[in-house]
Structure 1
């Protein structure tokens, strides 16, 4: 947006009042779509409101309640291994020449994945079956949308697994659900590492400084809070390098799907949504599940 580019180059003393004014104008914009949305939230334009952030954080806490830690860790490592093998097949085993592989190894290290484990995945890529990334759109009970990213060597099996799971849990496969998301660059850092614990205002100013369009918190049950800087796809490398130049160590930097329209759910509806997300994440071919849920206060 033109005003975002202007905001980026304003002197620091003008940021806060101008940003507050823009947030108040944009906070309640109407949305026309096949779903019923009570709010419009967008990743563009440096506009993280306290209310939107609270709704996102409340949902994150519900969604990221973990089961047995050993099981969750094993499943996470297994999915990373699948993605590593796919990245190696697509771009080769050298992370200096393969940005997708480099990003995955960054995640592996941040998750304390044993070096021997990801090196085995790299070396075994040539012997594994061809893998394909396929995204499925899902409409969940209550009208929320999921974009389910899979990495599979058998489309029919994966499609059947997802369809059966969704149908049993009150949802449906729905291609139009993909329209609730767009691909953006996302750089993740620890909120309280490298520097002081960043508040919303400081995080917004940092986003402007590094050329990101938005910043949001990533919260899970036991892990430290992370900050995710959202940017245009073509700006991912630049935003990552600027954060590093300011002394921050990225936990990951990758292309992800960000909701451009969100659905607000009540507490009991969030439990149903979280259950569906957890079941979906447990499928062996599913590597990532994106949602457009925020909580009603």
Structure 2
């Protein structure tokens, strides 16, 4: 009987130990939830601690970069907006070019040009060099396709071509120098600036071939600029404006009259001295390069 009682009592105790009331379940779930929240908070804290330093470092670098760049950007904008003349002047520094001045003879039905002047200009010191080429100079004449067609007087180059470009090529080949532009000027205008009458220029070969002397004595820098501005030219307007607005003026006329006369098949030609030709070519190239 004691054994039976003890067995029943033990069974009762076991059932009592395993009893799980509603309050117990609620309390247990509450503790589990609290533990889960603690784990999540710890995870977020660890992640934030791991990445917050690099992120803050990157943000600081960006702030410093913007702070350094903004003054420069603003300064550049201020120059371009408040001082456009200064910016334009800076862009135009060091301009140099070469051009061939072609006289257009209105009374010659054969379209022969008696005036051919090679010009170089350098804006560094606002200087100009002029090379009047005698009209009877023996040259290799080129056509519009860039082909040499025959040797003849320079004055015939314009008669054999309807546009200025082949004449430019002819003179470029003679001096072994690149010529950038041309300027077609009525010869009457040039003679007027030189104080020479049209009849004198037409009837006196000496006057035409020795025109370099007249240019040295009577043609100024400003007069040349005026002739260029009023001519039929492909020189860009900004270059002409810079020449016009520059105050200092220097002009040099290079004499190409040293040479010999030669008669071929009964026709008179002028042959330029080869050493003088090479020296003049070097001088013009150096002038264009600012030397």
> TM-score category by the smaller chain?
under 0.3
TM-score (norm 2): 0.22
Q: Give the structure with the larger helix fraction.
A: 2
Structure index of larger Rg: 2
TM-score (norm 1): 0.22
